[in-house]
Amino acid sequence: MNFDLKTLDVRLAAAEKCDQLVVLVGDDFAAGGDPLSRLIAQALKEKDLQAKPGKSLALYRAPGVAARRLLLVGAGSGDARAVRQALAGIAPAWRAPGVKRAVVCLAWQATPEAVSAAVQAVAQGRYVYTLTKPKAEASQLTRVVIGVPEPKEVEQGFETGQAIALGVELAREWGNRPANHATPSMLAAAAKALAKHPNVQCKVMGPAEVERLGMGAFLAVARGSAEPLRFIELRYSGAARGLAPLVLVGKGITFDTGGISIKPAAEMDEMKFDMCGAASVLGVFRALAQLQPAINVVGLIPACENMPDGRAVKPGDVVTSMSGQTIEVLNTDAEGRLVLCDALSYCQRHKPEAVVDVATLTGACVIALGGVRSGLFASDDALGEGLMAAGEASGDLAWRMPLDEEYAEGLKSPFADLGNVGGRPAGSVTAAKFLQAFVGDLPWAHLDIAGTAWKGGAAKGATGRPVALLTHWLLARAEAHAKAPDAKAPARGKGAQRKSRAPRALP
């Protein structure tokens, strides 16, 4: 789909030939003398339209308007949040039959962030899953004009919005694909396809190489499946070689049956979404490829299925992770942390500035935070604050969760260095404590997206979160590097949470 940025006010928007014109009407809407402005002023006066986000008024062949369909949409304060909310309310408009060309007019001088939000909202509304449902009516929308009074001022937001939209769409698409259409090998092929973009490279390892690396925890999860595991390594090189990279690690369980500790049948289909962390890493790389910011980023995806089988790992089995730490697999359904811990050990070889893992890790996080905010755990306060701020700026929200050492109590095992579960209380925190045992003193953060990566029920589908949060964060890091080129690592906050014991030296 093509986006264009154009100089428009309400009067000019009325003359735009298109199938759908959307005019966002903010609190401080000032009517000009043109017919459409007068119409809006009248609708506001009669209370047929309110400027609040979530309110809209649809018109057909309105006088003086070239577009067939006209939607007046309340945009409140007109900031990014209000625009996001306003356009979320009219999402179906972008897939309506016959809507090929659309114009969205922000009649005030919107911020770059608001323009970015508008672009993302249109792209989001347009997306239709069709891979295994080819008769689903795909959107016909091919060209969207975003109109503001002064386009120059918002160009950056316009570009960022498009890049994030591409990343979110990629993440949603891979998240939505059924597990038989999104195997570890297929995910690896999707990652390799990203390497056609400038400055993106991709390397894929199979079971033999992963075994050579000593990733006993990852291998244990993959054992029960006939699908071979893949370890995907993406690299984006936008800065000098010497600049320490930021590492993203995405949980890539392409289907989670629970393994021998098998899950109940109800809603098990949703465990095809257990690779949404991986999909979000692919999405972020798509955005990076588009924007080419001056940073280095590494993306790591341990991908496999978690299946029950005669060869599958059993409760009580002890495996040796790449770090050398042994793990008692008390519950084979706590598999995400097993694949992630080896990827976290592996990431040390890149000598990163920081590492962030993204995972649909625990049902407990869904109970704690629902579908509104992702769980954010950070060993380093500057890193935690940076991610939290990126969430607020992008509308892809997170919430800080604790990492007190006491939460690690339950992970003790009489038969190994660690057990892989820590009991029912604070399940998302004990999962994070498990991961923390593999990062040493590297600034590390963990996003538990179990509640936010997809929606269940009638509107079942992947959300593409947290592509927007992570992309915003990386762009902010790039900007910080540009300002202080020597600063390699984020400053440690005074209140940084206590760290767990260091992992053993890597073999």
Binding site residues, Zn ion, CB under 5 A? 253, 256, 274, 336
Q: With respect to ligand BES, which residue has the nearer C-beta, 282 or 334?
A: 334
- The answer to the question of residue 256 lying near Mn ion (CB under 5 A) is yes
Smallest distance from Mn ion to CB 256, Å: 4
CB burial readout 253-280, b (16+ within 10 A) else e: bbbbbbbbbebeeeeeeebbbbbbbbbb
Per partner kind, with CB cut-offs from 5 to 8 A, the member of ligand BES, Mn ion, Zn ion, none near residue 25 is: none
160 near 154, Cβ under 8 Å?
no
Q: Rg for the chain (alpha carbons), in Å?
A: 24
Please pick, among 337, 433, 465, 477, the residue that the annotation labels catalytic: 337
448 binds Mn ion (CB under 5 A): no
- Kindly state the smallest distance separating residue 336's Cβ from ligand BES, in Å: 4
CB burial readout 288-300, b (16+ within 10 A) else e: bbbbebebbbbbb
Closest CB to ligand BES among residues 236, 438: 438
Strand extents, DSSP E, 69-142:
69-74, 101-106
> Would you state the structure tokens that stand for residue 434, as one six-digit string?
């498990």
Cβ nearer to Zn ion, comparing 147 with 259? 259
The partner in contact with residue 283, picked from Zn ion, ligand BES, Mn ion, none with C-beta cut-offs of 5 to 8 angstroms by kind, is: none
Say if CB 245 and CB 353 are below 8 A apart: yes
* Closest of 338, 336, 347, 343 to residue 375, by C-alpha: 336
Tokens of 231: 């370890």
Residue 287 binds: one of Zn ion, ligand BES, Mn ion, none (C-beta under 5 to 8 A by kind): none
Distance of CA 220 to the CA centre of its chain: 27
Closest by CA to 164, choosing from 397, 465, 385, is 465
Q: Compute the C-alpha angle 262/267/271, nearest 5°.
A: 65
Please state, in angstroms and rounded to a whole number, the distance separating the CA atoms of residues 27 and 272: 43
CA distance 215 to 378: 24
Catalytic one among 68, 81, 263, 400? 263
Of the pair 50, 331, the CB lying nearest Mn ion is at 331
Q: Minimum distance from CB of 335 to Mn ion (Å)?
A: 5
Say how far apart CA 409 and CA 181 lie, in whole Å. Answer: 40
Q: Give the contact letters, 414-453, x = binds to ligand BES (CB under 6 A), - = no.
A: -------x-----x----------------------x---
- Smallest gap from Cβ 258 to Zn ion, in A, equals 8
- Ranges within 260-279 binding ligand BES (CB under 6 A): 274
Q: Name the minimum Å distance from CB 80 to ligand BES.
A: 29
**347, 359 in Cβ contact below 8 A?**
no
Q: Candidates 17-25, 199-207, 254-262, 438-446: pick the segment binding Mn ion (CB under 5 A).
A: 254-262
- C-alpha 434/C-alpha 334 separation (Å) is 11
337 is catalytic: yes
* Window of 76-84, 143-151, 345-353, 354-362 that interacts with ligand BES by CB under 6 A: 354-362
Nearer to Mn ion, 221 or 442 (CB): 221
Question: Which range in 39-47, 117-125, 237-245, 359-367 contacts ligand BES by CB under 6 A?
Answer: 359-367
223 is known as an active-site residue: no
Give the binding site for ligand BES (CB under 6 A).
Answer: 256, 274, 331, 333-336, 360-364, 366, 421, 427, 450
Residues recognised as catalytic = 263, 337
Which residues are at the interface with Mn ion (CB under 5 A)?
256, 333, 335
